[in-house]
Amino acid sequence: MADILRGLMDFMAWPSPLFMALGALLGMLFGFIPGLGGAQALALLTPVTFGMPPNQAMAMMIGAMGAVPFGGSISAILINTPGTPQNAATTFDGFPLTKQGKAGFALGASASSSVMGALFGVVVLAVLIPLGKPVVLAFSYPEYFMMAFMGISVIAVVSLGSIWKGLAAGVFGLLLSTVGYDPVTGSVRYTMGFEYLYDGIKIVPALIGLFAISESLEMMIKGRDLDTGNKAIGNVGSGVWEGIMATFKHWWLFIRCSVIGVIIGIIPGVGGSVSNFLAYGHAVQTTKDNPHFGQGDVRGVIAPQASDTAKDGGAMVPTILFGIPGSVETAVLLGALILHGLQPGPKLLLDNPTIVYVMIFALVASNVLAGVLGILGARYLAKLTLLPVKLTSPVIIALALMGAYATNGVLEDVILALVFGVIGYFMNKYGFTRVPLVIALVLGTMFQQTYHQTISSMGWQGFFKRPISLGLFLVTVVMLVTPFIKARQDRIRKAKKEGEMYEA
Amino acid sequence: MKLKGNAIFELFLIALSAGMFIVSFTYNPRARFAPELLSVLMFFLTMLLFLGENIPFFQKRMKFMNQRGFFTKTESEGDNRARVKEQSSSGEPAQSEPRPASGSGSGAAFKENLKLIRLLLWLILFAVMLRYVSYLITVPVWLLLFIKLESERSWLQSGLVAVGMGIFDYVLFAVLLRATF
Amino acid sequence: MTPKRIKRHSAIALLLIFMLLWGAGCGSSAAKDNAGKDGAGAAGKTVDFPTKDITFIVPVSPGGGYDTYSRILAQYMPKYLPKPVNIIIKNMPGGEWNIGLGELNRAKPDGYTIGIFNIPGNVVNQIMGASYDLNKMTWIGRVTDTVYVGALSPKSKFKTLEDLKKADEVKVGVVGLSSTAGLGSLIALQEMGIKAKFVTHPGSTEAVMAAIRGDVDYVQYPYPTLKKFIVDSQQLNPIIIFYPERHKDLPNVPTVKEAGYSQLLDVVKADYLVGGTPGIPPEIAKILRDAFQQTMKDPEVMKKMEEFGQPARPASDEEAARIIADSLKVFGKYKDLVAQNQK
């Protein structure tokens, strides 16, 4: 308790809050720009914080880390491009809302669910530090596999339009994820002689292509502005307050999605790329009253954002308990701690408990700050969607391609983004949803590797002998089967009513 | 028989999966397990789509191809309308009536393809410029030209956007990120 | 609040952040101005180097050991250059180092692009057909070499090296078999006659985590990677150390020499080398080499590296070139073993 107080005092000591605020602004900016994310923000801040005492340095770095998920949701909602891969699911309903002229509403919902999710994550972190160890140790290869499996089966649930095209897109994504090093034997596949492809198709440029580039291409070719459908064109920024309240209105969904985020954060190596899909799929699955997911349902914004920020609190558990980074961001953070002479891992909590609490407070504060800024700015940000497409599209393209380029400074990333831009454009044009492709591409490698890990260390029985793995498997099966049965029942009922079975 | 755009795209996917299937045999047995399985699956899925959508013979016999996504289970009227609007606005001919969309639209489709090619050339220009001149020049110059020539806006507008983005890029990438590319 | 005012506020806030970061950069370089003076004299010949920032390529993602050592160097080395330009870290992960090293190999040989190397990992890549030739690189020096430690999971049924030799199958956690650590595990276990089954992981942390959970029996990693699991806490049990004498932090752990496998000493190790593009003019290379050696003697640098778990063990550029030549010879022998295990 005394440590918590001392941590709070340390965090409040000037100029730590200032550095936290600067970090948060930077984090929001990096989150917003597709291609740049938390890892880049932290890598940038590492040399800047060299000269600072550890408390201030951590306040600044965690400040940046905490604000990234919300920053990324802004571009997901406004320009249909996830600012970071973790925001991919936010585009599914965030952008349709923008198309309907409800950008302010979506931004408000994203801000409030992000802030509340972060608070939830941190509270769980504080409670869970003593219990974290068994949780971390309970998840092994089969559980990882089942989580990837669960994430991939979300495809069946979220495909709009033809289910067959959705499945084809998903299989296409899985097939593309086999490019590069085979995770088992280390031989390379489908690289066509390019060294660049050895590590497989990189997610960030692929996302930039599939979303930012293909969306801009389409809008320019159609020559239609974003809000042509919207009569009350001056009102895009309104509804921010309703958006904020939406999180509270759907508080039970919010809590469930935050729990998903925290649990996935705790498990090292799974990370945010799964949690947002699982939360989204969960929301789609469990919503009974009047769902219109994929066409602008605010619950489709709340769910991934809540799990995204809640995950950050969870990711601190393995970092603090084991010295094992739970995500790319925490990996950079661990490097920075070492440079400041702090040894991450179990000893940190014993030797330097205050710094741990400074990190926790900074995480909360930066999320609150980002959320408040987002809420204040939402109505103005929303107005951006009213600008003519002929002006915004080239800017989005330039920004997105530069973001792809800046992550590693290699031109191949730009070319990959262009290729995926064309693929995404045609997929969209011919009724293949891009969502299954993204989910499969992100989770494919993990799916494959954990499968082989399980087989080689435990045999196929490993999947079903362990209670958590078996439980996850059953949940997935139920998730896949129920809508099918329900749809059938609905159809039969409807057929009875109309007196005809099929009308194609 | 004249092939429509979606048929060409589906043929492309079929060819791709077949190609990947064949290539996978050059890998060792453990490494080719996943790609082999997936490419076969993909081959049959896309084949099914191609036949069901484009060959009238199969179209009549594969009604199940019209199965919609699972989660839009409430087939209320309002919902349906929203989806049709969504699809037609995203360029896909509404699936229940695929025929009439093609006939009158071939001129428009040609224009659309032409525009796509032009835009792709612009994008390739961006990549080429990135390769040979610094991004600090690429971004403003490309934006200036694009907005003036492609978007047909005034020099003033394109100039303002170009300068603004140029400064933003300079501050973000050169100053903050110390980018050395 | 009016929209205008908010816009102005956010503009001012952004401006502030940029000014602050800009200022931080300028401030630190101004402080370095005085210290660099005598470095210029040592260069002898009057070459105007450096006149702009130097890029330091790190071919792995930020956060790990190679990245940390590179960042320590990038922070302190400018002090010893004739002119205190910035040394900018550029992480270029991918292709098991090949992407970053390919870029380094293609860069202009003007001394403004240098980078860190991982030996024998990069040597193995070259043997397996990478685009660069390590013999031709302009070597600057060695930062350190690491000591490898083999450790058992506390949940494993094996407790000693003897148990492992008797076992029918030992599960070993690795990243990939062509990585330095993976190859080291492969060769060491083969030479010791242990029947290993390798379980691959996306990164070393995942492999270590698997050992903590008890899903694999054995992991073999550099001491700095394992330090927090075997010294700071007892989450893994060290059973062997690949070093000629006992380590001061691990006095009870037998060395590979005691176990009777001295031949492994040349194989199971990793050198952290710093080098540049092939063909950097000798006078510029000399400036870099001198600055590097001075940096490695800086007490603060030594302290930071020691804290990280592996003290600095600098060596000259000639030594670095010799390490490369030796390594190429040693691993040529194991080429078939590697190729065979990639099947």
Q: What is the pLDDT of residue B101?
A: 40
Residues C155 and C195 in one domain: yes
Min Cα–Cα distance to chain C from B16, Å: 24
Instruction: Examine the pLDDT at A402 and tell me if it is beyond 60.
Output: yes
What does the CA dihedral B171, B173, B174, B175 come to, rounded to 10 degrees? 50
- When pLDDT is cut at 50, 70 and 90, the band that residue A129 belongs to is confident
Regarding whether C153 and C211 lie in a shared domain, the answer is yes
pLDDT band at A337 (very low <50, low <70, confident <90, very high): confident
Q: What is the 3 state secondary structure string of A54-73?
A: HHHHHHHHHHHHHHHHHHHH
By residue count, chain C amounts to 343
Q: Which residues of A touch C203 (CB under 8 A)?
A: 269
Taking only the tens place, the pLDDT of each residue in B127-140 is: 999 888 888 888 99
Pick the residue with more confidence: A415 or A133? A415
Among residues of chain A, what percentage have pLDDT more than 70? 91
C63 lies in the same domain as C202: no
- Among A350-364, B14-28, C152-166, whose mean pLDDT is lowest? A350-364
**pLDDT at residue A493, rounded to an integer:** 76
Neighbors of chain B by Cβ distance (3+ pairs < 8 Å): A, C
HEC string of A296-358 equals: CCCHHHHHHHHHHHHHHHHHHHHHHHHCCCCCHHHHHHHHHHHHCCCCCCHHHHHHCHHHHHH
Distance CA B91, CA A365 (A): 44
Task: Kindly list the domain boundaries of chain B, sorted by start residue.
Answer: 1-66, 108-176
Question: Is a pLDDT exceeding 90 seen at residue B123?
Answer: yes
Same domain, C91 and C129: yes
Please check whether residue A238 is in contact with residue A397, taking contact to mean a CB–CB distance below 8 angstroms.
no
pLDDT at A228 over 60: no
Where does the pLDDT of residue A498 fall: very low under 50, low under 70, confident under 90, or very high at 90 and above?
low
Q: Identify residue B151 by its one-letter amino acid code.
A: S
Residue A397 covered by a domain: yes
Q: Best of A188, A414, A430, A476 to disrupt the B interface by mutation (most B CBs within 10 Å)?
A: A430
Cβ within 8 Å, pair C22-B28: no
Q: Quick one: pLDDT at residue C250?
A: 87
Give the ipTM of the model, two decimals please: 0.80
Tell me the C-alpha distance between A311 and A298, whole Å: 20
**Residues A198, C98: C-beta atoms closer than 8 Å:** yes
Q: Which residues of B touch A26 (CB under 8 A)?
A: 176
- Best to test chain C binding among A33, A366, A456 (most C CBs inside 10 Å): A456
* Averaged pLDDT score across all residues of chain B: 75
Query: Are the Cβ atoms of B180 and C53 closer than 8 angstroms?
Result: yes
Pairing of strands C113-119, C196-200: unpaired
Same domain, C239 and C285: no
Signed CA dihedral, A326, A414, A166, B90: sign only = positive
Residue C37 tokens read as 């003076």
CB atoms inside a 10 Å sphere around CB A73: 35
In this prediction, residue C307 has a pLDDT band, given cuts at 50, 70 and 90, of confident
Band of residue A333 on the pLDDT scale cut at 50, 70, 90: confident
Q: What are the Cα distances from residue B16, in Å, to B2, B9, B39, C117? A: 22, 10, 9, 38
Separation of CA C54 from chain center: 19
Using CB atoms, list chains with 3+ pairs below 8 Å to chain A: B, C
pLDDT of residue C6: 45
Q: Which of A139-153, B95-109, C324-338 has the lowest mean pLDDT?
A: B95-109
Same domain, residue pair C232 and C257: yes
- Chain A stretch 106-135, residues whose beta carbon is closer than 8 A to a beta carbon of chain C: none
Residue B90 binned pLDDT confidence (cut-offs 50, 70, 90): very low
**Are both C125 and C161 inside the same structural domain?**
no
Report CB contact under 8 Å: A335, C67.
Answer: yes
Strands C54-58, C113-119: pairing is parallel
To the nearest whole Å, the CA of C17 is away from the closest chain B CA by 10
Strand partners, C197: C171
Range of the domain at A82: 2-498
Residues above pLDDT 90, as percent of chain C: 20
Q: Cα separation of B138 and A381, whole Å?
A: 27
Q: Is residue C318 part of a domain?
A: yes
Region C224-251: mean pLDDT is 86
Would the CA dihedral through A185, A190, A193, A196 be positive or negative?
negative
H helix or E strand, kind and range, residue C259: none
pLDDT at B180 (0 to 100)? 61
Nearest to B171 among C18, C55, C342 (CB): C18
Contacting B residues, span 138-177, partner chain C, CB-CB under 8 Å? 171, 175-176
- Tell me if chain C has a CB within 8 Å of the CB of A353: no
**How many domains does the structure of chain C reveal?**
2
d(CA A331, CA B138): 33
Q: Which residues pair with C90 in a beta bridge?
A: C57
**Residue A163, pLDDT score:** 77
- Cβ contact A366:A62 at 8 Å: yes
pLDDT at B26: 84
When pLDDT is averaged across residues C270-289 and rounded to a whole number, the result is 91
Report yes or no: A27 and A66 within 8 Å, Cβ to Cβ. Answer: yes
Task: Pick A431's closest partner by Cβ from B73, B87, B169.
Answer: B87
In this model, does residue C117 exceed pLDDT 90? yes
Rounded to an integer, the average pLDDT of A301-307 is: 92
What's the DSSP call for residue C57? E
Q: What residues of C are in contact with residue A26 (Cβ under 8 Å)?
A: 17
Q: Is residue A504 part of a domain?
A: no
- pLDDT, residue B65, reads 63
Residues of A in contact with B91 (CB under 8 A): 218, 222, 428-429
pLDDT for B84 equals 38
**pLDDT above 80 for C27:** no
- Which pLDDT belongs to residue C23? 42
Chain C contacts in chain A segment 192-211 (CB below 8 A): 195-196, 198-199
pLDDT band for position C227 (50/70/90)?
confident
Average pLDDT over chain A reads: 82
What residues of C are in contact with residue A377 (Cβ under 8 Å)? 6, 10
Residue C249 and residue C168 share a domain: yes
Among B112, B179, B122, residue whose Cα is nearest residue B150: B122
Q: Give the distance from residue C161's alpha carbon to the nearest chain B alpha carbon, in angstroms.
A: 30
**pLDDT category of residue C339 using cuts at 50, 70 and 90:** low
Assigned token pair, B37: 């399985």
Q: What is the pLDDT of residues B98-108, one digit of tens each?
A: 333 444 456 77
Work out how many domains chain A is built from and give that number: 1
Q: Determine the distance in angstroms separating the CA of A354 from the nearest CA of chain B, rounded to an integer.
A: 30
Quickly state the pLDDT bin for A420 (edges 50, 70, 90): very high
Q: What is the mean pLDDT of residues B81-106?
A: 41
My answer on whether C137 and C104 are in the same domain is yes
| Region of poorest pLDDT, from A240-244, B145-149, C37-41, C185-189 | C37-41
The pLDDT of residue A349:
73
Tell whether the model's pLDDT for residue C24 goes beyond 70: no
Asked whether residue A428 is assigned to any structural domain, the reply reads yes
Considering the domain architecture, whether residues C188 and C254 belong to the same structural domain is answered as yes
Is residue C283's pLDDT more than 80? Answer: yes
Interface touch B70/A163, C-beta < 8 Å: yes
How many CB pairs below 8 A link B and C?
15
Last-in-domain residue among C245, C268, C291: C268
pLDDT reported for residue A358: 86
- What residues in B contact C88, CB-CB < 8 Å? 178, 180
Minimal Cβ distance to A487: which of B41, B73, B123: B73
The beta-carbon neighbor of A448 closest among B20, B34, B172 is B34
The pLDDT tens digits of the residues spanning A196-214 come to: 888 788 888 898 898 889 8
The answer to the question of residue C62 being in a domain is: yes
Best residue in C18, C91, C112, C198 to probe B by mutation, most B CBs within 10 Å? C18
Q: How confident is the model at residue B154 (pLDDT cuts 50, 70, 90)?
A: confident
Same domain, C69 and C126: yes
Question: At a CB cut-off of 8 Å and minimum separation 6, what does A272 contact?
Answer: A69, A84, A85, A86, A264, A265, A308, A311, A327
Find the DSSP H helices in C33-173: 37-42, 65-76, 98-106, 121-127, 161-166
Question: What per-residue confidence (pLDDT) applies to A458?
Answer: 85
pLDDT band for position A447 (cuts 50, 70, 90): confident
How many Cα atoms sit within 13 Å of A304 on the Cβ side? 35
Within chain C, strands assigned E span 54-58, 87-91, 113-119, 138-146, 148-152, 170-174, 196-200, 218-222, 237-242, 270-276
pLDDT score at C232 = 77
Q: Does B28 contact chain C (CB < 8 Å)?
A: yes
**A483-499 burial, b for 16+ CB within 10 Å, e for fewer?**
beeebeeeeeeeeeeee
3-state secondary structure of C232: coil
Q: In CATH, what number is assigned to the domain containing residue C166?
A: 3.40.190.10
pLDDT in tens, A182-199: 777 767 788 887 878 887
Same domain flag for C141 and C273: yes
Residue C190's domain spans which residues?
A: 148-268
CA distance C172 to chain A (A): 10
Q: Which two tokens stand for residue A312?
A: 């950050």
Shortest CB distance from B127 goes to which of A40, A171, A415?
Answer: A415
- Within 10 Å of residue B50's Cβ, how many Cβ atoms? 19
Contacts of A431 in chain B (CB under 8 A): 6, 87, 92, 95
Cβ contacts (< 8 Å) between B178 and chain C: which residues? 53, 86, 88
Best probe of the A interface among B71, B130, B131, B177, by most A CBs < 10 A, is: B71
Q: Which of A51-65, A155-169, A381-395 has the highest mean pLDDT?
A: A51-65
Q: Work out how many CB contacts closer than 8 A connect A with B.
A: 216
Task: Transcribe A200-257 into DSSP letters.
Answer: -S-HHHHHIIIIIIHHHHHHHHHT--TTTT-S-GGGTTTTHHHHHHHHHHTHHHHHHH
Residue C103 distance to chain B (closest CA, Å): 11
Of B30, B63, B135, Cβ closest to residue A504: B63
Which residues from chain C sit within 8 angstroms of residue A140, using beta carbons? Answer: 210, 213, 215
